[in-house]
């Protein structure tokens, strides 16, 4: 059998084949790198999910809950008013969209968000637990004490933003507040039973605003026909 030294041509051929094999081996990590890219994407997705969970935990923690509740009230007040205005445009009740009205509603959402935050916090402190007796007391107190405060603050806030004097604000409250308060009794006792019995305390204002959003859109035509001013019911 001939050796490589005795056959230089064969040696060259084998050397070329070995170099080819080495080049193939160096290309393998590139192919495995594609699979690694998929793994990296998966890890990146899990990392984003973990960051979202961390953000959620911080946002609804006791440290930042006030800011979260105010932000939720502001945002959903804006969304509710935008939906209402488009419904009114569709029904030919108003001619065009008014950004100032939505801005005013956003500011009223801030004031209401602060009141809701401390009201629910006080209720849970004074009436702890979720028994039927406790929930019933919370519903009654919410309707008899807090709802009138919500509605009054709502009218006062918009009155200040619309540069009305005290007499105009008071007349508006006397004319319209009782109608909104009466309408509340058709929706909020049941909604607040769910809120106080099932919803965790840190999600209550979020739930409150979701219900209020649907209620506002549903009743906007009636309220604006009654008042001819751009008012929005608050939770």
Label residue 229 by pLDDT band (50, 70, 90).
Answer: very low
Model pLDDT for residues 11-52, shown as the tens digit of each residue: 544 455 445 544 444 444 444 444 455 566 677 778 888 888
Is residue 65 pLDDT above 80, yes or no?
yes
Is residue 196 pLDDT above 90, yes or no?
yes
- For residue 114, give the nearest of 174, 167, 154, 56 by alpha carbon: 154
Between residues 165 and 221, the one the model is more confident about: 165
Within 8 A by CB and 6+ apart from 49, the residues are none
Helix (H, G, I), strand (E, B) or coil at 112: helix
Average the pLDDT over 57-84 and give the result.
90
Length of the chain equals: 235
Between residues 88 and 122, the one the model is more confident about: 122
Between residues 47 and 72, the one the model is more confident about: 72
Average pLDDT of the chain is 79
- Name the token pair of 19: 């170099």
Long-range contacts of 84-92 (CB under 8 A, 24+ apart): 84/216, 84/217, 84/220, 84/224, 84/232, 85/230, 87/217, 87/220, 87/221, 88/220, 88/221, 88/224, 91/221
Is residue 134 pLDDT above 90, yes or no?
yes
Tokens 């009223």 -> residue: 108
How many degrees, rounded to 5, is the angle at CA 125 between CA 122 and CA 131?
115
Label residue 186 by pLDDT band (50, 70, 90).
Answer: confident
Please count the other Cβ atoms lying within 10 Å of the Cβ belonging to residue 32.
Answer: 9
> For residues 232 and 225, what is the distance between their CA atoms, to the nearest angstrom?
12
Label residue 129 by pLDDT band (50, 70, 90).
Answer: very high
């Amino acid at each position: 059998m001939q050796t490589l030294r005795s056959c230089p041509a064969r040696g060259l051929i084998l050397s070329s084949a070995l170099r080819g094999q080495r080049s193939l081996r160096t290309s393998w990590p590139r192919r495995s790198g594609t699979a690694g890219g998929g793994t990296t994407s998966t890890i990146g997705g899990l990392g984003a999910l973990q960051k979202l969970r961390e953000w959620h935990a911080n946002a609804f923690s006791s440290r930042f809950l006030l800011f979260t509740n105010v932000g939720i009230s502001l945002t959903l007040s804006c969304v509710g008013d935008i939906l209402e205005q488009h419904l009114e445009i569709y029904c030919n009740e108003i001619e065009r969209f008014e950004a100032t009205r939505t801005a005013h509603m956003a500011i009223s959402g801030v004031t209401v968000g602060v009141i809701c935050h401390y009201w629910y916090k006080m209720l849970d402190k004074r009436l702890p637990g979720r028994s039927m007796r406790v929930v019933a007391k919370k519903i009654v107190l919410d309707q008899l004490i807090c709802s009138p405060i919500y509605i009054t603050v709502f009218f006062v806030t918009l009155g200040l933003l619309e540069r009305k004097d005290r007499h105009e604000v008071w007349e508006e409250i006397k004319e319209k507040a009782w109608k909104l308060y009466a309408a509340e009794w058709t929706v909020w006792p049941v909604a607040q039973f769910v809120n106080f019995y099932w919803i965790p305390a840190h999600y209550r204002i979020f739930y409150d605003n979701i219900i209020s959003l649907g209620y506002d859109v549903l009743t906007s035509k009636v309220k604006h026909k009654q008042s001819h001013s751009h008012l929005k019911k608050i939770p």
